[in-house]
Chains A and B, each alone.
Chain A
Amino acid sequence: MSLLELKNVTLKFGGVTAVNDLTMSVEEGQVFALVGPNGAGKSTVFNMISRFYTPVTGSITFDGHDLLQRKADRVPQLGIARTFQNIELFERATVLQNLLVGRHRHRRTTLLEEMFFVGRSWNEERAHRHAVEEVIEFLDLQAYRDKYIMGLPYGVRKVVELARALSSKPRLLLLDEPASGLSVEETQDMRWWIDDIRRQMGITVLMVEHDMGLVGKVSDRVLALDGGKKLAEGTAAEVQKDPKVIEAYLGTGAISKTASAGGERV
């Protein structure tokens, strides 16, 4: 059984069909990449998995659990963590505090224990720090540990978001454009990190990425989307060679595509 399975999933925003009858499955231990031109519906797929959006039809299961039965805040419990395309960090908190929020799904202390910092509080906090500190070390964030997000440069924020997701010790990590806006060296780092996340930590990765160089290097399986529909699926090389994918990227036939997406408009 696959770790994550989407079956015949369709989602509409008013008249726009953002995702159209999409079926895909991600196996445990894979790095799975979603590619496609702007507006293809990649982020929408992520937002359905993390339950911000509910598809009109279809099913989404993770490790046998029906995700559609859950509210967004109950998804991380299963071991799903994510980053956002437009970085969504807690601006008025430090890097450390941001990562500690990533630990929230492991919270076991009660309100009263926390108010008086008694009972399990000390040991739990130590355990949270320990987990977070490992991530800080892994991603080389020591220098920014106690800095507020407010003043951090873009590249660092990107890494902090990855770190926050990793802090939750997920089984499945959703990365929405992890390398967008990063410099060449930063993208290199990201590549090695994704490799290590899969190899050393054994975390399954589902990512959206435009940088085909990166996708080719890290991913086992690639799915190309356009207009919410699956165009092709296979290894990076196979997908890149697919004529339909080439057409979608080069924009040949772009006019006829808009017409069909717009329904009646010709």
Chain B
Amino acid sequence: MRFHFKTSYDHDIRLFPDWWTFFVYGALLLVMVALPFLMDSFFLSEVTNVLIWAVAGLGLMLLTGTTGQVSLGHSAFMALGCYTCALLMNAGMSFIPAFILSGVITGLVGALIAVPVLRLHGVYLAIATLALAIITADIIVILRPWTGGVNGMFAPEIFIFGAEINRWVNPEYWYYMTLAIVVIITLIYVNLLRSPLGRAFAAVRDSEVSAQAMGIDVARTKTIAFGLSCGITGLGGALMGFFAGAFNNETFTFLLAIQLLMMIVVGGMGFIHGAFLGAIVIAFLPQGLSIVTDNVRFLNIPGLEFGVFGAVLIFFIVFEPMGLYGRWLKVRTWFELFPFARRDMFRRQKSYLKTERVR
């Protein structure tokens, strides 16, 4: 069991509360940096893929996990991020500014859309955002002069400080670029969580009434969360499209948005770690499945992948609502407290009836 001896407030504010955590995350980062020397390019691109999913997932996690607003429409913002970045680069901008700007633009558009959409709650919000995802494909086709419509468009070549970043020529560059982006976004996420805004997000998620009574403008906070979330997911979309090399109206379908949601549920709602664990599952599940279907003839059914995705999602919602990371926390607590862990330690107290009345 680890004890935290806190000697100043800074312990709680710091990125790493103690040396142990610093060491663990430092070691993880070192391993990640060393990965290209340990793996062949096939696996490296698989890991790159995981990181790209993680970027998109972090975006949705901020909205759904941290702020408590569900979205089934985030594929729309992945598309927006991707096309914006490509169009800006075709207009002559270089990758880094185009990439950043595409995140900002997607975020702003997201915030704009959020104003009407976030007035809805629960299932209505889900349906409204789902509609957003579904019309995206049509919008891409309608905007054919810019997007290439059904024929799609090729991702422009990426140059950073004169070096070409090409997945087929130098996959390790692609990997490092993605890793850097993931680290920066994760840091932003963590910074928000240790600041007033991040706490306001969680407050809105847990009790809107109480958040208001603490001086939080609920509508504004949700809008900012939606904007930030869309911006980050847009960056994920840009990476995904550029990594694929080409994209069209069928690249960012609503199925992608649902996969994204499944990813954060499986990983662990509300935890940054959850986005990464979920990304690993999402990225490797198809691989795992294809190995199975290659060997077991009768399982070779088209559409099996989405069936399995759905089954996994239902399994987690019913049996492991806190996701993989939640499971890990429980296991860790069990060992830390051994033999004093109680069975109902993580059970939510149901004695408080949530009512709409504020009395």
Contacts and interface: CB of A to CB of B under 8 A. Distances in A.
B198 interface: yes
A92 B358 contact: no
Contacts of B209: 52, 84, 88
Contact of B199 (A97, A121, A133): A97
A186 B197 CA distance: 34
A102 B199 CA distance: 10
B216 A73 contact: yes
Contact of A101 (B203, B348, B355): B203
Interface string A86-123: 11111111001100111111010101001111000110
B9 interface: yes
Interface string B192-210: 1011111110110111011
B205 A92 contact: yes
Contacts of A89: 206-207, 210
Given A88-B207, A101-B211, A104-B216, A129 B9 contact: yes
A114 B197 contact: yes
Contacts of B352: 86-87
Nearest to A149: B206
Given A92-B202, A101-B203, A72 B195 contact: no
Given A104-B200, A126-B9, A150-B348, A114 B192 contact: yes
B91 interface: no
A76 B214 contact: yes
A97 B202 contact: yes
B294 interface: no
A130 B355 CA distance: 34
B270 A105 contact: no
A82 B213 contact: yes
A219 interface: no
Contacts of B10: 126
B359 A111 contact: no
Contacts, number: 136
Contacts of B207: 88-91
B215 A105 contact: yes
A27 to B, nearest CB: 23
Interface residues of A, number: 53
B90 interface: no
A151 B345 contact: yes
A14 to B, nearest CB: 14
A32 B356 CA distance: 28
8 contacts: A88-B207, A89-B207, A91-B207, A104-B196, A114-B197, A121-B195, A154-B351, A176-B359
A51 to B, nearest CB: 8
A209 to B, nearest CB: 15
Interface of A: 43-44, 47, 50, 52, 71-77, 81-82, 84-93, 96-97, 100-105, 107, 109, 111, 114-117, 121-122, 125-126, 128-130, 133, 150-151, 154, 164, 168, 176
B217 A73 contact: yes
Nearest to B199: A101
Contact of B210 (A90, A111, A154): A90
Contact of B212 (A73, A100, A125, A176): A73
A76 B199 contact: no
A115 B228 CA distance: 10
B66 to A, nearest CB: 10
Please indicate which of the listed interface residues B199, B203, B215, B346 has the most CB atoms of chain A within 10 Å of its own CB.
B215
Interface string B328-359: 00000000000000000110110111010011
Given A43-B358, A82-B213, A90-B206, 7 more contacts: A52-B212, A84-B209, A90-B203, A90-B211, A97-B199, A114-B192, A128-B196
Nearest to B359: A43
Contacts of B351: 154
A92 B270 contact: yes
A109 B213 contact: no
The 6 closest A-B pairs by CB, nearest first: A76-B215, A114-B195, A129-B9, A90-B206, A88-B210, A43-B359
A87 B354 CA distance: 10
Nearest to B218: A73
A52 B213 CA distance: 9
Given A115-B191, A150-B348, A91 B206 contact: yes
Contacts of A107: 196-197
A100 B201 CA distance: 13
Nearest to B196: A107
B214 A115 contact: no
A132 to B, nearest CB: 9
A109 B206 contact: no
